[in-house]
Amino acid sequence: MTNMDKLYEAVEARGPVCVGLDTDFSYLPADFVDSTLSKGENIVRFNKKLIDATKAVAGCYKVQIAYYESLGLEGLKAYADTLKAVREAGVPVIADIKRGDIAKTAEMYAMGHFTGDFEADFVTLAPYMGLDSISPYLPYAEKQGKGMFVLCRTSNGGAKDFEYEKLADGRHVYDLVGDKLNALGKDYMGEHGYSSIGLVIGGTHIEEAAEIRAKYQDSFFLIPGYGAQGGKAEDIAQYLSKGNGGVVNSSRGILLAYKKQPGAAFDEAAYNECVNMKEAIAHACSLL
């Protein structure tokens, strides 16, 4: 069984919410911070309470490494400890690292994030340099069932700068990327019909949603853009397949939910937000 199979089963069991642990120190409630601990240690305390509170309603977690790198060595320890906490909770974890280099450098990135202190179940990758920026990760997919989510059509406004440009044959650049990755993924299929090579498909542009979902039926989607970036449940639902086939990330919307729920502790508020998000997406899927 591949990690993508495990992610599919996690979504079946608990829903498609991906909790983004993009934890900036400023997000921590002032009365939670322990002044005797470092910023990194406080972030780990915060993350662990959030994981405990939401693991019953989260399909997976995504940890964005930049928030931890910004704190230097103590941040990298917090990153490793956070990954470990998610894996100990028995929930799939995505290392959001967006690596995109080639050759020996990519081999080292793959080793660094699929083994050792920073081991995760999935990584995010950027394919701009070509398929040889993806290939060094594939032995881990073949031998250990590891997975990857590769940037295809993203949720940011700048996606229009390159991804939407038209090719001579009428396809967009994102179509070319998706088509090549989908073809490559055929050699890494799991038991539930999804490849170990997933796609990052932003949920803020819905014009081509049905077309993209139909075109890449065996590609699992990581769908950013919900909540703070403007993606709505009815938009997101179009990128799922009967409520599965993808995970929907929310970071600030969950981490800072306590600011919109007066009287609720941050972990309780995070749980409430996950439930609300899960139910909204399920309802939107039921109307399709």
Which amino acid is it at 136?
Answer: P
Structure tokens at 151: 């940037």
What is the bridge-based pairing of β-strands 122-125 and 93-99?
Answer: parallel
Distance CA 241, CA 214 (A): 9
Given a contact cutoff of 8 angstroms between Cβ atoms, the answer to whether 159 and 127 are in contact is no
Structure tokens at 230: 């403007």
Kindly report the number of other CB atoms within 10 A of residue 265's CB atom: 14
- Residue count of the chain: 288
**Residue 99: strand pairing partners:** 125
Q: How far is CA 81 from CA 42, 45, 54, 104, 151, in A?
A: 12, 10, 17, 27, 26
From 77, 84, 98, 232, the catalytic residue: 98
H helical segments located in 124-251: 138-144, 159-162, 173-185, 209-215, 233-236
Q: Which helix (H) or strand (E) holds 122?
A: strand 122-125
- In b/e form, how buried is each residue of 48-85, taking b as 16+ CB within 10 angstroms? bbbbebbbebbbbbbbbbebbeebeebbbbbbbbbbbb
Interatomic CA distance for residues 153 and 187, integer angstroms: 22
Radius of gyration over every alpha carbon of the chain, rounded to an integer in angstroms = 18
Active site residue 55: no
Which residues are part of the catalytic machinery?
Answer: 98
